[in-house]
Amino acid sequence: MTQEDKEKLKSWRLQKLEECKQFPKYFYYFSFLDNLESIISNGILSKNEITKKKIKTKSFADVDVQNKRKDKDFFITGSQRKNLHDLVPLYLNSKTPTLYARKDIQNQLFFLSINSKKLITDMNINFAFTDGNATNRITKPYWKLDKLKNLNWEIINGLSWNDKQDGKRIRNSEFLIFPKIETKYIETISCYDAPALLRIATILKGKDLKIETIINKNLFF
C-alpha cells in the first residue's frame, strides 16, 4: 500500500467513526494492578503474545471462556484471519457484565482509557469488532467500519443492560486489536481508591509517560 493509499484509508476510517455519533471517545481495558508494570513496559499484548514472551501475569479469566476464545477465528482489516487470542480485546463501555462479576475485587483493578479514534486511524493497526460477547454463538463479527451501525448502541452506552433483551451479551461488545496497543494511546489510568492510586504512582515513578492517573469510581460498580 502506497503512502497515498494509506492516507486515503485513514481519512475513510476517520469519516466512518465520525459518522457514528454513538462511537465512544475511549475504549476500555481493565486488569489487575499487578499487571500494570508489564503493560507499561510492553504495551497491551494479546494472550498469545503474552504466552510467547513468557510474561507472568495475574489473571481473572474464566477457563471455560478462554477455551472458547482460543477456538474462534475472525477476519480483521487487511484481509487477515486471526484467532481471538491473537487480538487485544477492548470494551466500548467500562461497566460491563465482565466487570460486574468481579465487583468484589475492584480495588485490585485499574482501567486504561484508550483514545479510540487515534488507535483506529493508525494504519499499523488492524482490527475487528463484534455486536456482543465474542464467544457467543449468535454474536456477529465485523471488520468494515460502515457496519458500526449494526451495533446496539442504546445498550452499549446505556445505564443498564439487565432490563434489555439480550442485554448481557450486547453490553460485552468488543473491539479486537492486532498486533498490540502501544502506551502512546493510553490517556488515563483510573483506579478505585487512594491505596490503588498510590501503587500506580509508585509503578510509574521515573517513567517519562504523559498519562493521567486518577481515582474514578464512575468507571466501576
Residue range 19-55, pLDDT digits in tens: 999 999 999 999 999 999 999 999 999 999 999 999 9
Q: What are the strands of the beta sheet with 186-191, ordered from one edge? A: 141-142, 126-130, 174-178, 88-91, 26-32, 109-115, 186-191, 212-215
pLDDT at site 95:
98
pLDDT in tens, 143-195: 999 999 999 999 999 999 999 999 999 999 999 999 999 999 999 999 999 99
pLDDT at site 67:
86
Residue 103's domain comprises 3-219
Share of the chain above pLDDT 70, in %: 100
pLDDT at site 63:
81
What confidence tier does 139 reach under pLDDT thresholds 50, 70, 90? very high
Report CA-CA distances (Å) from 141 to 74, 119, 198. 7, 19, 39
- Mean pLDDT, all residues of the chain: 96
- The residue with greater pLDDT, 128 or 68, is 128
- The residue with greater pLDDT, 63 or 25, is 25
SS (H, E, C) the chain: CCHHHHHHHHHHHHHHHHHCCCCCCEEEEEEEHHHHHHHHHHCECCHHHHHHCCCCCCCCCCHHHHHHHCCCEEEECCCEEEEHHHCEEEECCCCCHHHHCCHHHHHHEEEEEEEHHHHHCCCCCEEEEECCCCCCCCCCEECCHHHHHHCCHHHHHCCCCCCCCCHHHHHCCEEEEECCECHHHEEEEEECCHHHHHHHHHHHCCCCCCCEEEECHHHCC
Share of the chain above pLDDT 90, in %: 94
Nearest to 195 by CA among 75, 109, 93: 109
- The residue with greater pLDDT, 64 or 131, is 131
Cell numbers 500500500: residue? 1
Task: Report how many domains make up the chain.
Answer: 1
Task: Give the contacts of 162 (CB within 8 A, at least 6 positions apart).
Answer: 168
The total of other beta-carbon atoms located within 10 Å of residue 202's CB is 10
pLDDT at site 125:
97
